[in-house]
């Protein structure tokens, strides 16, 4: 039972070494395995099942806004990648190049898509002719490749799974509305489903996407005080349309350029969830995303009637995703396993419980034990799952609020970033020089200019010149 | 309205030029578009939606048999691909090679997966230690790349979407059972959902998968009399296990090699459906797979109350996938469009129908018109969809039976293949020389040795030596 041994060994404590804790959790909760392909990971069943749930829920939300799914080739000819100059500069250093097909060298090398703006633009240039063809609201679910030097499971890997939405609109206004709409879809998904509060805002020019006019982002705060960019939505204006010649005939029979957006979310979200909700016993999954919501652990399962009752209990809970752990491990071991895997609820049921017509529900997040009559168990499980979902969100939000601090002078700014971590709210003059200096001094970056602006001071926290924007700063994954 | 123009132009007739008819349908039904990447296609919303339905239904059927989904890297290091010698010989000539990551050459080049046996084997070699770790029943949904010289939408492209299941078992018997189980899942899916009858059988050694001990296949007959391999399931025995060192400790504490299988289905299935069910007006989709099952076309829609009634009708049909075509095109044009796109039912409703509290259901396959009271429409639509699904299957089966012929001598064998096409059932000695000769003489291949064997003659149709198996022969896509 090699797998069992791995699980019972204690994992590193969060406070001792957060990075090692994270690595321990992703491996011991059996979410991923390392592969023979450097920098690429294997998503194991427990990890992929979370992604399937994320996909299903996001896809439903996208389709409610009129989005349709398509699939584009995974290769981009070099000449196509080069059509938009900021874009090629941003991505060329980190793409994988295919140079041979079978036994022959290719006439033109192709990269494996790092993102598919160029392919969608090429497609739209053919597809869009009249205002009647607009808007185009397409999305694809696929994997992309970026040749990163340093990799970490879920957070940064050479290949990752994501969705990328690409839209084309008749007007700048519509494109801006779509950019913000999708950011709101992302934010609502993170908060409602992943129980993960996010700050919505705009990226500075330094941090925006290669080729975008504006990049909007949702930023979440991890347990260790580092920020994680959790989803981005870009407004391209008509920049790509001009580079690719995507024009339509308007109602007055004039040629116009389209306005475009793109927006993406990735398997990073799984890493974010781990670092927002996990604890020293392992993963803690929000009930709404958990592939298994309830693990029933029979106690003294060899006694007559115990396993049968556990199955009956499972049948009573058919509205939820429930499993019964009938393995021959002892209950303590099964508890540790269920906790490591982050299954939201455990239900313990043994001979004494059966005699009393009851069972014991244990919450993964608080370890609270709730004794409940078998007559009420279905309703109670629903209620506890709901409460747990809400409590997880509130706890994460409280953690973020405790770790969001204001700085109005550079010394305290540096002190907070260095010694306390978390988000720092501070005013900024709008100059990239200050962003560069802050990065050099304390390795922090501007996370976003939040939509909810506050006037904390009249001057830039870094240079003292007049301030233009309040910015969330932090160290980031 | 450039798109509209494309649709109203008549497509090539099937009988005039089947290949051109096929190309016309895939483009004009808006399933695909060609891309700037030679040999790769773009799956447009109407095409991708069919694939989503195929995925959802197959995935459900897989999971019912205990299969779990995972995701493996898309790259395979050359040394890993080379571990099993038949496998590398089979795939090396048709893989795409990545040689550079970012600005630097790779130390070892990697191919983009043409299939993932080698990655799964590498994974299982780490993952499987004890008999308790078995079976492993994993599947992944992804795209794969094979550098084909001649490509055709859905049927053969350099990148295509598929699922690949990879399982590892303790015994040869279990592996054989799983190989056949998955073939049966495939066959049931094709017949029940795609209304496409298939012949189940085993491939000859010449036609089996590179590295497999046995390959099972389902073969369907297209409208033009050519065969199409629609799904395959492979039993690898312990060949890959020995090449990759995948061993487990059995209950007696002895080291044993695992026995493996793999099985796959691809976007080819969409091509198969087109060529089994389509007609000179375009696509005909089986109701169970159609993304839109009913298109309501309002007649004289500017008259008061017509559009409202069409919406009411849609609401009455909430158990089905229904759209209302409210565009400003004329009804005849809308009919042509709905027919081209293969939407199973059209419902026409105009002022006279409304007055009579009725509507007209038109079947896509037979054009049969059914006048039905609005009071009964929901039940009637369900019934007609069901009848249409069954009729489509029966019609395809009758076509296959009419085009399956017996040959007991080589002259009539060649005559049928050359002049009548379809499947030819004929006896075979088991010798690859006869397969080679048949291929050279009439470009036909052995499609399978069907599970349902018949003794048509005692001698091989080609060489006259004693016969071992009855084989289905045919020209194939």
- Residues B15-36 have pLDDT tens digits of 999 999 999 999 999 999 998 8
B173 Cβ neighbours under 8 A, 6+ residues apart = none
What is the rounded average pLDDT of the residues B201-226?
96
Q: Which residues of A touch B40 (CB under 8 A)?
A: 73-75
The answer to whether the Cβ–Cβ distance between A42 and B71 falls below 8 Å is: yes
Question: Which residue from A216, A162, A229, A225 is spatially nearest to A190, judged by alpha carbons?
Answer: A229
* Chain A residue nearest residue B249, CA to CA: A1
* Chain B residue nearest residue A45, CA to CA: B70
The answer to whether the Cβ–Cβ distance between A112 and B70 falls below 8 Å is: no
Residue in A42, A97, A142 nearest the CB of B98:
A97
- Residues B326-385 have pLDDT tens digits of 999 999 999 999 999 999 999 999 999 999 999 999 999 999 999 999 999 999 999 999
Q: Which residues of B touch A48 (CB under 8 A)?
A: 68-71
For B107, phi and psi rounded to 5 degrees?
A: -65, -40
C-alpha B256/C-alpha B174 separation (Å) is: 14
C-alpha B268/C-alpha B278 separation (Å) is: 15
Q: How far, CA to CA in Å, does A381 sit from each of A283, A319, A400? A: 20, 10, 28
Contact B49, B61 (CB under 8 A): no
What is the rounded average pLDDT of the residues B277-304?
97
Question: Which residue from B241, B240, B193, B195 is spatially nearest to B220, judged by alpha carbons?
Answer: B195
HEC string for A122-150 = HHHHHHCCEHHHCCEEEEEEEEEECCCCC
Q: Which residues of B touch A33 (CB under 8 A)?
A: 123, 126-127
Contact B340, B329 (CB under 8 A): no
pLDDT for residue A253: 97
The answer to whether the Cβ–Cβ distance between B69 and A77 falls below 8 Å is: no
For A443, phi and psi rounded to 5 degrees?
A: 55, 30
**Helix, strand or coil, per DSSP, at residue B125:** helix
Q: How many residues does chain A have?
A: 477
Residue in B35, B49, B75 nearest the CB of A73:
B35
Q: Which residues of A touch B292 (CB under 8 A)?
A: none
Q: Which residues of A touch B118 (CB under 8 A)?
A: none
Question: Which residue from A175, A158, A190 is spatially nearest to A233, judged by alpha carbons?
Answer: A175
Q: How far, CA to CA in Å, does A461 sit from each of A32, A155, A424, A444, A454? A: 42, 30, 11, 13, 14
Classify the C-alpha dihedral B315-B317-B323-B326 as positive or negative: negative
Least Cα separation, residue B75 to chain A (angstroms) = 7
pLDDT for residue B5: 47
C-alpha B264/C-alpha B161 separation (Å) is: 10
* Chain B residue nearest residue A77, CA to CA: B37
pLDDT for residue B8: 53
- Residues B161-205 have pLDDT tens digits of 999 999 999 999 999 999 999 999 999 999 999 999 999 999 999
Q: Please name every residue paired with B104 in a beta bridge, in sequence order, or none if there are none.
A: B101
**Helix, strand or coil, per DSSP, at residue B333:** helix
The answer to whether the Cβ–Cβ distance between B71 and A35 falls below 8 Å is: no
What is the rounded average pLDDT of the residues B136-163?
96
C-alpha A200/C-alpha A177 separation (Å) is: 15
Residue in B70, B74, B122 nearest the CB of A48:
B70
Burial state string for B423-432 with b = 16 or more CB within 10 A and e = fewer than 16: bbbbbbbbbe
Contact A44, A32 (CB under 8 A): yes
Q: Which residues of B touch A52 (CB under 8 A)?
A: 69
Inform me whether the pLDDT recorded for B2 exceeds 80: no
- Residues A55-79 have pLDDT tens digits of 999 999 999 999 999 999 999 999 9
To which residue do tokens 């797998």 refer? A3
Least Cα separation, residue A98 to chain B (angstroms) = 4
Classify the C-alpha dihedral B327-B331-B336-B338 as positive or negative: positive
pLDDT for residue B88: 84
Mean pLDDT score across all residues of chain B: 96
Segments of chain A with pLDDT less than 70: 1-9
- Strands A75-77, B445-450: pairing is unpaired
**Helix, strand or coil, per DSSP, at residue A100:** strand
The answer to whether the Cβ–Cβ distance between B35 and A122 falls below 8 Å is: yes
pTM: 0.96
Task: Indicate which of B36, B103, B144 best probes the interface with A, i.e. most A CBs within 10 Å of its own CB.
Answer: B36
């Amino acid at each position: 039972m090699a797998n069992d041994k791995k699980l019972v060994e204690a994992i590193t404590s969060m406070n001792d070494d957060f990075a090692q804790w994270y690595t321990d959790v992703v491996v011991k909760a059996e979410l991923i395995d390392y592969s023979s392909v450097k920098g690429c990971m294997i998503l194991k069943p427990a990890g992929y099942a979370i992604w399937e749930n994320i996909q299903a829920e996001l896809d439903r939300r996208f389709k409610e806004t009129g989005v349709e799914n398509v699939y584009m080739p995974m290769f981009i000819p070099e000449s196509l990648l080069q059509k938009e100059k900021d874009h090629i500069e941003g991505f060329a250093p980190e793409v994988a190049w295919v140079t041979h097909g079978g036994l022959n060298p290719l006439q033109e090398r192709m990269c494996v898509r790092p993102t598919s703006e160029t392919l969608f633009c090429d497609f739209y240039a053919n597809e869009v002719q009249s205002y009647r063809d607009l808007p185009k609201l397409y999305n694809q679910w696929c994997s992309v490749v970026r040749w990163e030097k340093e990799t970490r499971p879920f957070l940064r890997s050479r290949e990752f799974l994501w969705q990328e939405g690409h839209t084309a609109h008749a007007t700048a206004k519509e494109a801006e509305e779509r950019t913000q709409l999708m950011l709101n879809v992302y934010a609502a998904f993170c908060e409602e489903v992943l129980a993960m509060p996010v700050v919505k805002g705009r990226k500075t020019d330094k941090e925006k996407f290669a080729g975008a006019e504006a990049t909007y982002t949702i930023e979440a705060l991890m347990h260790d005080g580092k920020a994680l960019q959790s989803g981005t939505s870009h407004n391209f204006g008509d920049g790509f349309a001009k580079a690719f010649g995507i024009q339509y005939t308007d109602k007055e029979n004039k040629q116009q350029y389209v306005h475009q957006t793109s927006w993406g979310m990735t398997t990073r979200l799984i890493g974010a969830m781990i670092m927002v909700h996990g604890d020293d016993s392992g993963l803690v999954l929000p009930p709404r995303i958990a592939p298994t919501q309830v693990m029933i652990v029979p106690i003294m399962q060899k006694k007559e009637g115990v396993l049968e009752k556990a199955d009956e209990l499972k049948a009573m809970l058919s509205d939820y995703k429930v499993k019964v752990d009938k393995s021959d491990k002892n209950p303590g071991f099964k508890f540790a396993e269920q906790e490591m895997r982050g299954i939201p609820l455990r239900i313990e049921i043994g001979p004494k419980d059966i005699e009393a017509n009851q069972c014991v529900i244990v919450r993964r997040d608080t370890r609270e034990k709730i004794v409940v009559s078998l007559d009420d168990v279905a309703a109670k499980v629903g209620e506890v799952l709901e409460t747990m979902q809400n409590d997880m969100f509130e706890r994460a939000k409280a953690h973020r609020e405790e770790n969001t601090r204001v700085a109005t002078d550079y010394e305290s700014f540096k002190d907070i970033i260095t010694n306390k971590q978390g988000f720092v709210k501070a005013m900024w003059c709008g100059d990239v020089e200050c962003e560069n200096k802050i990065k050099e001094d304390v390795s922090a970056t501007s996370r976003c200019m939040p939509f909810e602006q506050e006037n904390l001071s009249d001057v830039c926290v870094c240079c003292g010149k007049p301030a233009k924007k309040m910015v969330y700063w932090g160290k980031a994954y």
